[in-house]
Amino acid sequence: MWSWAAVLNRSRWRRTATVTALVVAAVVLYAWVDLHFSLPWNPDRPSFLSFPAGPLSRACDGLGPAESNSNASHSNPSPPIPNLVHYVWLVADPAVFSLSFAFFINAYSSHLFLRPDRIYIHTDVPPAVWDRAKDSGDVWTRRLLNLPGVVPNFVETPRVTSVGAEIDTFGAKSDFLRADALRNFGGLYLDTDAVPLRDLAPLRHAGFANVVGGAVGIAPKFTGFVNTGVWLSRPHSSLAEIFYEAMHAFYNGVWAISVDILSDLAYRLHAVPGEVLILNPRAFAPASWELEDQVRLFKPHLPDNRIPVLNRTCAGALAWLRAREDEMGAAGHMENWEMDFSATYVLHAFDGYLDKIRGWDGQITLEYVLARRSNYARAVYPAVWHAVTAGVISREEVMF
């Protein structure tokens, strides 16, 4: 026996089932597409295997056999990565050379925590402009250029690849210059927004010719890459040499193609003993370049009259974990906005969207850091306060 009510109920069920099936299909399709274009083994992404061999035919000339890069042994230990720091600073106007407070934080942190033999700034400013800025430039430029070990390496800005492609952005020019610096000198390359938080000596002495770190991304399609803003290398390592040649062979003006190339090479050469150590993303880039992560890193919060102290003992770690898991708000417990940098050697603090963070003027100033109301400020505070106590920054400047 049937009724109109039964028919209507069946129709409603069918409509519900149809809508549900469509929603599920849409979610599955979106997830497949998102993952398909993000996973490292995705065939649609540029990979080293897909690059033609011709332009790289001489890339490995002069490099030793793989056995020479074997893991360190007691009888013949591998040499450490040189304790050198490299920055690239290119200018739009060769008559103007002004360095930011944020760059000063980076360079002073390198000076304090890494104790490098030299801090190179590879720049296209004329030597006379450098000398004038060092003697009479603005305050942060003078302080940075007069830090112990800071030396210039005057370079010509790369404008075209060996195969005729125009190099037309500051980022791409920096990619070529950082590779050239690591090939010739070895050491640590840092983007000017990548701030050392502790000594990297354990990584330099780890027995590897290169040390890089993974990159983190909020969206899955931005994961699986290597962070190009922090890179340790021995001079003339296989990775540095091949990357330099590959950039000349394959650079085509596409934004961040260097990330694809370095990622592909690092993962491929990871199979060569002692060539590449790839660290967890938290080591060099605990936050991504996306706006949501920059808000989390830079946005100031209301003061809570409690600054977390990093306790490096086993008992301290257990106490921190107990307070965090119990959510008791005990000393050392983190607020929901706080980030833990315990596993971070270098904080790559991507700063491309600071002007888009609501509720903040987007300015990294001395007052902003000393207030310690953001994750970034709390991370870099020890180095800045050391500069105050050492007299590099006068105490009069901190009397806000």
> How sure is the predictor about 36, in pLDDT bands with cuts at 50, 70 and 90?
very low
Residue 43 domain flag? no
CA distance 58 to 60: 6
Q: Are residues 266 and 328 in the same domain?
A: no
Contacts of 130 (CB under 8 A, 6+ apart): 97, 123, 145, 152, 154
The answer to whether 121 touches 150, Cβ cutoff 8 Å, is: yes
CA distance 135 to 96: 14
Predicted confidence (pLDDT) at residue 276 exceeds the cutoff of 90: yes
Number of Cβ within a 10 Å radius of residue 22: 10
Q: Are residues 208 and 154 in the same domain?
A: yes
Determine which of 19-28, 98-107, 217-226 has the lowest per-residue pLDDT on average. Answer: 19-28
Task: Look at the pTM and tell me if it is higher than 0.75.
Answer: yes
pLDDT tens digits for range 40-96: 434 343 333 334 444 455 566 666 554 444 444 444 578 999 999 999 999 999 999
Q: Are residues 253 and 109 in the same domain?
A: yes
Determine which of 187-196, 216-225, 294-303 has the lowest per-residue pLDDT on average. Answer: 216-225
Residue 52 domain flag? no
Q: Are residues 140 and 1 in the same domain?
A: no
Residue 69 domain flag? no
Q: Are residues 295 and 322 in the same domain?
A: no
> How sure is the predictor about 160, in pLDDT bands with cuts at 50, 70 and 90?
very high
Q: Are residues 269 and 374 in the same domain?
A: yes
The answer to whether 304 touches 268, Cβ cutoff 8 Å, is: no
> How sure is the predictor about 358, in pLDDT bands with cuts at 50, 70 and 90?
confident
pLDDT given for residue 43 in this prediction = 39
Query: 389 is written with which tokens?
Result: 């106590």
Query: Which residue range(s) make up the domain with 309?
Result: 304-336
| CATH number of the domain that residue 122 is part of | 3.90.550
Residue of 375 and 52 predicted with greater confidence: 375
Residue 234 domain flag? yes
> How sure is the predictor about 260, in pLDDT bands with cuts at 50, 70 and 90?
very high
Q: Are residues 363 and 317 in the same domain?
A: no
Determine which of 94-108, 295-309, 370-384 has the lowest per-residue pLDDT on average. Answer: 295-309
pLDDT given for residue 352 in this prediction = 83
Residue 148 domain flag? yes
pLDDT given for residue 219 in this prediction = 63
Contacts of 303 (CB under 8 A, 6+ apart): 371, 373
Residue 387 domain flag? yes
Q: Are residues 111 and 153 in the same domain?
A: yes
The answer to whether 260 touches 323, Cβ cutoff 8 Å, is: no
Residue 74 domain flag? no
Q: Are residues 284 and 309 in the same domain?
A: no
pLDDT given for residue 51 in this prediction = 40
The burial class, CB within 10 Å (0-12 / 13-18 / 19+), for 328 is exposed
pLDDT tens digits for range 233-242: 999 999 999 9
Q: Are residues 183 and 329 in the same domain?
A: no
**How many domains does the chain fold into?**
3
Determine which of 36-50, 159-173, 181-195, 257-271 has the lowest per-residue pLDDT on average. Answer: 36-50
Strand partners, 226: 214
pLDDT tens digits for range 108-121: 999 999 999 999 99
Query: What is the rounded average pLDDT of the residues 338-359?
Result: 90
Residue 11 domain flag? yes
Q: Are residues 197 and 257 in the same domain?
A: yes
Q: Are residues 148 and 24 in the same domain?
A: no
pLDDT given for residue 42 in this prediction = 41
Residue of 399 and 204 predicted with greater confidence: 204
pLDDT given for residue 289 in this prediction = 85
Residue of 73 and 222 predicted with greater confidence: 222
